[in-house]
Amino acid sequence: MNDKIAVLGGGSWGTALAILLANKGFETDIWVRNEKQAEDMKTIRINKKYLPNVKFPDKLNVNTNLEETLYKKSIVLSAIPTHGIRETLENARPFIKDNQIIINVAKGIENNSLMRVSEIVNIMLPNNKYAILSGPSHAEEVAINMPTTVVSASSKKEVAEQVQDLFTTPSFRVYTNPDVIGVELGGALKNIIALGAGICDGLKYGDNTKAALMTRGIIEMERLGAKLGANPNTFTGLSGIGDLIVTCTSVHSRNRKCGILLGEGLSLDEAIKNVGMVVEGVKTTKSAYRMSKELGVEMPITEEIYNLLYNNVNIKESVSRLMGRNKKHEMEDIAITNNYNW
């Protein structure tokens, strides 16, 4: 195995994928910004903050120096949260070579620019090939080899397939997809709906409520995706409904946990502090809300969650507004666009 891997980001997902790659025999360096965290990881060979029960393989090295981490690597895997990617790439750019493939595993939309990660990378590293790895995949389960299936998306088939080969193991199955826009949006937007699912749980609403929220949530994801050029079919796949299901229902979901705490009455700041990790859906809600208004896309669930997070509206009033919206067809393209005879 000739590939050498640089993983940027010492959170749970970056660590889990670094462990997976090192276990496959790849020389893997993980860059950790926090020197105290990095020193602990080097000493005890565990990421005790995020994956405290998983030992590091011998081929996994921990580094705080970007230049050393990126030196002579063929693959650069970015597990930096979306809001920090631009700064990290700016610092890393002098050490990144054109022949290195950039793989992103973060899920979000930048607040100020409303750019997806692929758009940021294309501006900052225009000569590098790019892929995104996304899908229903909690780090806590991947790190202990629970069966998991994800999707590798790239505008170049050979890159998607190279990433597929790189990550595939007996317990980690990778499909390919050419729809970078759809895969990125699915991974980002499902976190908004997961916040809502958590709020439902915090309010002690039942399964009916959550099922309705998830089903109508995927419609909103597809609407915005179609407006931005995504293939609607992508949202029925692993990075769409697959990721939506796991993030809305799992005990590992930080977005769902944040929502639960909000539903139980905590403030947003208190909820985020309690989760103790980045809650991507909070920032993504702001981006998606702005996009929906600028593009004229109807996203009522996103709008209500935005109002809950940023306008301090009453949660039960938001639910009442959603339930009291004007009557409409469920499948508008069938009932209206196609002039269905009924």
**pLDDT one-digit tens code per residue, 260-276:** 999 999 999 999 999 99
Look at residue 336 in the predicted model and tell me its pLDDT. 45
**Residue pair 104/206 in contact by the 8 Å Cβ criterion:** no
**338 within domain boundaries:** no
- Domain limit, last residue, from 178, 211, 232: 178
Domain co-membership, 115 together with 205: no
User: Would you say 57 and 18 are in contact if contact means Cβ atoms under 8 Å apart?
Assistant: no
Distance CA 73, CA 281 (A): 31
Domain containing residue 232: 181-331
Measured on CA atoms in the order 92, 95, 97, 101, is the torsion positive or negative? Answer: negative
Mean pLDDT over all residues of the chain? 94
Q: Are residues 54 and 135 in the same domain?
A: yes
Residue 313 sits in the same domain as residue 196: yes
| Per-residue pLDDT at 2 | 73
Q: Does residue 204 carry a catalytic annotation?
A: no
Please report the pLDDT score of residue 318 as a whole number: 83
Gap between the Cα atoms of 288 and 227, Å rounded: 12
Is there a single domain that holds both residue 155 and residue 188? no
**Residue 275 located in a structural domain:** yes
**Residues 176-228: pLDDT tens digits?**
999 999 999 999 999 999 999 999 999 999 999 999 999 999 999 999 999 99
**In a domain? residue 259:** yes
The percent of residues above 90 in pLDDT, for the chain, comes to 89
Whole-angstrom distance, CA of residue 251 vs CA of residue 232: 29
Which of 159, 178, 197 is the last residue in one of the domains? 178
Q: Where are the alpha helices (DSSP H) in the chain?
A: 12-23, 35-44, 66-70, 82-92, 117-124, 139-142, 157-167, 180-202, 207-227, 243-249, 254-263, 268-275, 280-295, 300-310, 315-323, 332
265 and 309 assigned to the same domain: yes
Whole-angstrom distance, CA of residue 78 vs CA of residue 100: 12
- Residue 30 in any domain: the answer is yes
| DSSP code per residue over 169-214 | BTTEEEEEES-HHHHHHHHHHHHHHHHHHHHHHHTT--HHHHHHHH
- Which residue's entry shows tokens 């995020």? 50
Number of domains in the chain: 2
Same domain, 163 and 257: no
Give the domain-ending residue among 155, 178, 201: 178
Q: Do 246 and 160 share a structural domain? A: no
* Residue 44 within any structural domain of the chain: yes
Say what the pLDDT of residue 1 is. Answer: 56
Q: Read off the tokens for 40.
A: 């602990």
**Same-domain pairing of 239 and 293:** yes
Quote the pTM value. 0.94
Token pair 């025999």 is at which residue? 25
Tell me if residue 296 falls in helix, strand or coil: coil
State whether 197 and 293 are in the same domain. yes
Q: Which of 73, 107, 190, 283 is catalytic?
A: 190
Model pLDDT, residue 342: 59
Residues 24 and 155 in one domain: yes
- Whether residue 339 is contained in a domain is answered as no
pLDDT of residue 332: 63
pLDDT for 80:
97
Residue 334 is predicted with a pLDDT of: 44
Same domain, 185 and 126: no
Looking at the structure, tell me whether residues 109 and 248 fall in a common domain: no
Q: In sequence order, which residues have a C-beta less than 8 Å from that of residue 39 and are 6 or more positions away?
A: none
**Helical (H) or strand (E) element with 29:** strand 27-31
54 occurs within a structural domain: yes
Is 336 among the domain residues?
Answer: no
Report the C-alpha gap between 179 and 227 in whole angstroms.
14
- CATH number of the structural domain spanning residue 53: 3.40.50.720
Per-residue pLDDT of the chain (342 residues; tens, 9 = 90+): 578 999 999 999 999 999 999 999 999 999 999 999 999 999 999 999 999 999 999 999 999 999 999 999 999 999 999 999 999 999 999 999 999 999 999 999 999 999 999 999 999 999 999 999 999 999 999 999 999 999 999 999 999 999 999 999 999 999 999 999 999 999 999 999 999 999 999 999 999 999 999 999 999 999 999 999 999 999 999 999 999 999 999 999 999 999 999 999 999 999 999 999 999 999 999 999 999 999 999 999 999 999 999 998 888 888 778 777 767 777 665 444 555 555
**CATH code of 273's domain:** 1.10.1040.10
Alpha carbon distance 185, 288 (integer Å): 10
SS3 of residue 13 by DSSP: helix
